[in-house]
Amino acid sequence: MNPILELTDVTRVHGEGANQVHALRGISFTAHAGELVAVMGPSGSGKSTLLTIAGGLDQPTAGTVSVEGTHLGGLDLQGRARMRRTSIGYVFQGFNLIPALTAAENVALPRELDGISARAARKEARTALDEVGIGELADRFPDDMSGGQQQRVAIARAIIGERRLILADEPTGALDTETGEEILQLLRARCDAGAAGVLVTHEARHAAWADRVVFLRDGVVVDETGADRVDVLTEHAAR
Amino acid sequence: MSVKHALLALLETEPMYGYQLRAEFEQRTGETWPLNVGQVYTTLTRLERDGFAAAEAENAEGHVVYRITEAGRDEVAAWFTTPVARTQPPRDELAIKLALAVTVPGVDIGTVIQQQRSATMAALQDYTRLKRRAVGADPRELAWSLVLDSLVFAAEAEIRWLDHCEARLRRAALEAGRQNSRLDDETSSSHREFHRPAGETPSTSGTEGTSR
C-alpha cells in the first residue's frame, strides 16, 4: 500500500556555521490511509518542524517529502500552495479561524480559493460541519463559539474537499480534558474513514488514540510503538 | 484491594450467591483484577463470621444465597465514606528500578527509560482502544469505563514521570559537563562541545535539558 505521506531521509538545518541547529536529522516517516500516527517528544525535539515540512509550509535542507505520490520539492510555490489547499488539512492549537467569517465561510474558504463556486463551496462546508457534529452552528462567528466548537470548525476546514492528509499540531492544547477527548475521537473517526493523520502532541493520553506512536529526540526517531496488546483486556473486550 | 468490602457493597444491591458475586464484580471492573471463586466463598464465610452477611437457605438450583445484615450495611457505608489510606505507598518496581539504574554503574538509563515508555505507551493505546468500545447507558458499563480511565490516567502519569526523569537526568548531565569544562581550562574555543554530555548528539536548542 502506498503511503499518503512519505518523508525520506529528511534533514532540516536552521542557521549557518557556528549557529547551525539541526532540527531534523535524516528522518524517514510514513503515514498510510486509515492510519493515525502520533509524534511525541519534548520541546525542541523537532516534532513541529516535522509537521510543517510534511505540510509543505517549510522545506527540508535534504531529503524528500511526498504527499499522495507527489514530491513537494518538485513543485513551485504555487504548486505547493495548491497542494496545501487540496490534499493537506492543517489543525492548529490556536484554531486559526478568521474572526470576521462565519463557521461555514471559514470552512468554505480553501475551496473558494481553489476556484469552485461559492455556492458549491458553502454546500461542502455544511456537509463538513455536519460531519464534525456542529452543522447547526454554521452561521455563527468564531467568537460566539466555545473552544471545542472552534476546533471542530478547524477540523471541518481541514477535511473539506476530500483531503486525505490531516496534520494536527497540539490540537487539544487549548481545550479541557473532555473536549480534547472529543476532538481526538473526531480525528480518529476521520482516519478510520480513510484519511491519514499525523498528530503532534506531548500528552501521552492523546497520543494513545493513534495506531502508532513515534518518539522524537533531538531530531531523530528514537522509538516507535503500536503493535503489542494487553492480552487480558483485549480478551475481555472480545467477549 | 478490599475484596471484602467490594462483595459486601454488591450484596447491598441484592442477595446473591458466590458465582453471581464474581460475575457482577468482573462486569464492573473488566476482569482487571480477576477473582477466583474460592476467594469469593472464603470471603463470604468471613463476612458471615463477622456478622456482616448471613447465608440464606439454598435456592432452587442449590446455590447458597447471602444477604447483607444491618451491621454489613454500616460497614459498607463506612467504607464508602473513608478515603483509601495512602500511608504506605505500594511497592513500585519501576521507581525502584530507576533508582538503582541511576546509581549502578554500566546501566544505560536512557534506554531503560525509553523501553519502559514504549511499553507503557503500548498499554495506554490498548486501554484507549477498549475505551472506544466501552460506551453504553448501562451503569455497569460506565463502571468498567471508569476503571479503564483509571488505568489510562495511571499509565499517563507513569509516562509523564519518565519524561520528567529523562529531563532531570539530561540537566544533571549538562551540569556535570559544565563543571568538567570549568575544571579542564578556559582555553577551549568550543564551549558547546563541553556542555554536551558524553555520548549525546548535539541538541537542537541549549535549553533542551530543562524543557518540559
Instruction: Tell me if A193 is assigned to some domain.
Output: yes
Position A229 pLDDT exceeds 70: no
* Low pLDDT (below 50) residues in chain B: 187-212
Residue B143 contacts A, CB cutoff 8 Å: no
pLDDT band, very low/low/confident/very high, at A208 (cuts 50, 70, 90): very high
Burial pattern B129-155, b for ≥16 Cβ within 10 A else e, equals bbbeebeeeeeebeebbebbeebbeeb
Query: Burial code of A81-109, b = ≥16 C-beta within 10 A, e = fewer?
Result: ebbbbbbbbbbbbebebeeeebbbbbbbb
Residue A222 lies in a domain: yes
Please report whether residue A149 resides in a domain: yes
Q: Which residues of B touch A230 (CB under 8 A)?
A: 122-123, 126-127
Distance from C-alpha of B23 to C-alpha of B199, rounded to nearest angstrom = 54
B3 — contact with chain A (CB < 8 Å)?
Answer: no
What string of DSSP letters covers B78-114? Answer: HHHHSPPP-SSPPP-HHHHHHHHHHHSTT--HHHHHH
In a domain, A28, yes or no: no
- Where do we find the cell 468490602? B5
Q: Are the Cβ atoms of B152 and A205 closer than 8 angstroms?
A: yes
- Best CA proximity match to A33, nearest among A61, A6, A65: A6
Sign of the C-alpha dihedral, residues B124, B128, B130, B135?
A: positive
* Contact present, A17 and A210 (Cβ < 8 Å): no
CB-CB under 8 Å, B204 with A46: yes
pLDDT above 50: residue A76: yes
Contact assignment for A226 to B32 by CB distance below 8 Å: no
Of A42, A209, A219, the CB nearest to B211: A42
Task: Tell if the CB–CB gap between B121 and A222 is shorter than 8 Å.
Answer: no
Q: Is the C-alpha dihedral spanning A5, A10, A16, A22 positive or negative?
A: positive
Summarised one tens digit per residue, pLDDT across range A106-119 is 999 988 888 889 99
Note whether residue A175 is domain-resident. Answer: yes
Number of domains in chain A: 1
Average pLDDT over residues A174-179: 80
The predicted pLDDT at position B1 comes to 52
Q: Give the per-residue pLDDT at B210.
A: 41
Taking CA B130 as the corner, what is the angle to CA B124 and CA B133, rounded to the nearest 5 degrees? 150
- Residue A226 is predicted with a pLDDT of 63
In this prediction, residue B86 carries a pLDDT of: 74
Q: Higher model confidence: residue A155 or residue A1? A: A155
Q: At A201, which CATH number? A: 3.40.50.300
pLDDT at residue A1 in the model: 64
Nearest-CA distance from B83 to chain A in Å? Answer: 25
A142 in Cβ contact with A150 (< 8 Å): yes
How far apart CA A230 and CA B14 sit, in angstroms, is: 33
Question: What's the pLDDT score for residue B192?
Answer: 38
- Is A84 domain-assigned? yes
Q: CA A65, A66, A71 angle in degrees (round to 5)? A: 90
Does residue A10 form part of some domain?
A: no
* Per-residue pLDDT band at A200 (split at 50, 70, 90): very high
Nearest Cα to Cα of residue A34 among A221, A158, A210: A210
- For residue A71, give every residue at least 6 positions away whose Cβ sits within 8 Å of its Cβ, in sequence order, or none: A64, A65
Q: Do A233 and B203 touch (CB under 8 A)?
A: no
Q: Is B210 on the interface with A (CB under 8 A)?
A: no
pLDDT digits (tens, 9 = 90+) for B102-115: 888 888 998 899 99
**Residue B97 grid cell:** 528500578
Q: Which of B123, B201, B208 sits opposite A230 (nearest CB)?
A: B123
When pLDDT is averaged across residues A215-227 and rounded to a whole number, the result is 81
Task: Work out the angle between the directed axes of helices A118-131 and A147-159 (0-180°, nearest 10).
Answer: 120
Q: Does B212 touch chain A (CB under 8 A)?
A: yes
Give the residue numbers spanning the domain of A221: 33-60+76-226
Asked whether residue A20 is domain-assigned, the answer is no
pLDDT at B135: 64
Instruction: Indicate if ipTM > 0.85.
Output: no
Q: Which three cell numbers stand for residue B42?
A: 472464603
Residues of A with CB under 8 A from a CB of B: 21-23, 25, 40, 42-46, 185, 188, 202-205, 207-211, 213, 215, 218-220, 222-230, 232-234, 236-237
Residue A100 scores a pLDDT above 50:
yes
Check residue A104 and give its pLDDT. Answer: 95
Gyration radius (Cα) of chain B, Å: 26
Query: Tens digit of pLDDT for each residue in A128-166?
Result: 899 888 999 999 999 999 988 998 999 899 888 878 899
Q: Which residue from A21, A208, A209 is facing B204, i.e. has the nearest CB?
A: A21
Could you tell me how many CB contacts below 8 A there are between chain A and chain B?
A: 110
- Do B149 and A178 form a contact (C-beta atoms < 8 A)? no
- What is the arithmetic mean of pLDDT over A59-82? 91
For the segment A33-64, what is each residue's pLDDT rounded down to a tens digit? 999 999 998 888 899 899 999 998 899 999 99
